[in-house]
Structure 1
Amino acid sequence: MKVVLVGSSGGHLRHLLMTKPVWKNDQRVWVTFHKEDAISALKGETLYFGYYPTNRNVLNTIRNTWVAFRIILKERPDLIVSSGAAMAVPFFYVGKLFGAKLIYIEVFDRMDKPTLTGRLVYSITDEFIVQWPQMKKVYPKAKCFGGIF
């Protein structure tokens, strides 16, 4: 299986790295920001970089949509996984167009309110994972696996 893991650098990237037992034997590529923490954490991995800042930045959302088209057409992933943030949105919508399965992991620090990214991708995901039982009120079709930490 080929997996694309999409996450902003920092906490979102660390969150995805904690899921390593699930994808460690799969062929994978990463999409994150060109920042030192990401480059260091993903040494030896196949990396692509998106544009930032992304939060409510329309220009970079458009640019990241083109990045998503380019990477998805080149890599042809079976699965796209993300824990956010905004860069996940274009990858999920473009990935859906090309038949990729989508898994979104809502971040740990959201205990009772959705993130903007979660709200934007919830309806198209194949699996939506929350880490707090009370988040099932916010996202009824979600699966609660408890904390990834």
Structure 2
Amino acid sequence: MKICLVGSSGGHLTHLYMLKPTWEQYERFWVTFDKEDARSILEGEKVYPCYYPTNRNLKNLIRNTLVAWKVLRKEKPDVLISSGAAVAAPFFYLGKLMGKKLIYIEVFDRVDKPTMTGKMVYPIVDEFIVQWEEQLKVYPKAKNFGSIF
């Protein structure tokens, strides 16, 4: 199985990296911002850079959609995993069109309101994971796996 881990640098990337026991035995690649924290955390990993800023930035949404198209066609992952933010959307929508399994993990710090990315991908994902019982009110089809931290 090949995994695509896609997310913004910073907390979203840290969130995904904390799942290392889940993904470390599989072939994988990452899509994130080319920033110092990402380069440091992902040293030795296969990484594809994406464009930022992403929030409400139409130009970078288009650019990241092109990145997603190229990377997904080249790498052919079986599953895409993300905890956000906006860079996940083009990867997930194209991944869905390509028949990939999609797993989204809503961030830890949103207890009673959805994130924009969460709202965007919720209708299309195969698994939507939350970390708080309260989040099930926002995402009734989600699964609560508890805190990753």
* Cα RMSD (Å): 0.4
Q: Runs of 4+ in structure 1 displaced over 3 angstroms?
A: none
Q: How many residues align?
A: 149
TM superposition shift of 1:99:
1.0
**Aligned residue identity for 1:113:** K
2:52 and 2:13 mapped to 1: Cα distance?
14
TM superposition shift of 1:80:
0.2
| Structure 1 residue aligned with 2:134 | 134
Deviations, residues 82-107 of structure 1 (Å, cap 9, x unaligned): 00000000000011111110000000
TM superposition shift of 1:78:
0.2
| Structure 1 residue aligned with 2:20 | 20
Identical positions, percent: 67
1:42 and 1:61 mapped to 2: Cα distance?
23
| Structure 1 residue aligned with 2:30 | 30
| Structure 2 residue aligned with 1:96 | 96
Taking structure 1 as the reference length, the TM-score comes to 0.99
TM superposition shift of 1:130:
0.3
| Structure 1 residue aligned with 2:60 | 60
2:99 and 2:70 mapped to 1: Cα distance?
15
Gapped runs of 5+ residues in structure 2?
none
TM superposition shift of 1:7:
0.9
TM superposition shift of 1:31:
0.2
2:27 and 2:108 mapped to 1: Cα distance?
26
What SS does the aligned partner of 1:64 have? helix
TM superposition shift of 1:56:
0.4
What SS does the aligned partner of 1:81 have? strand
Gapped runs of 5+ residues in structure 1?
none
What SS does the aligned partner of 2:63 have? helix
| Structure 1 residue aligned with 2:123 | 123
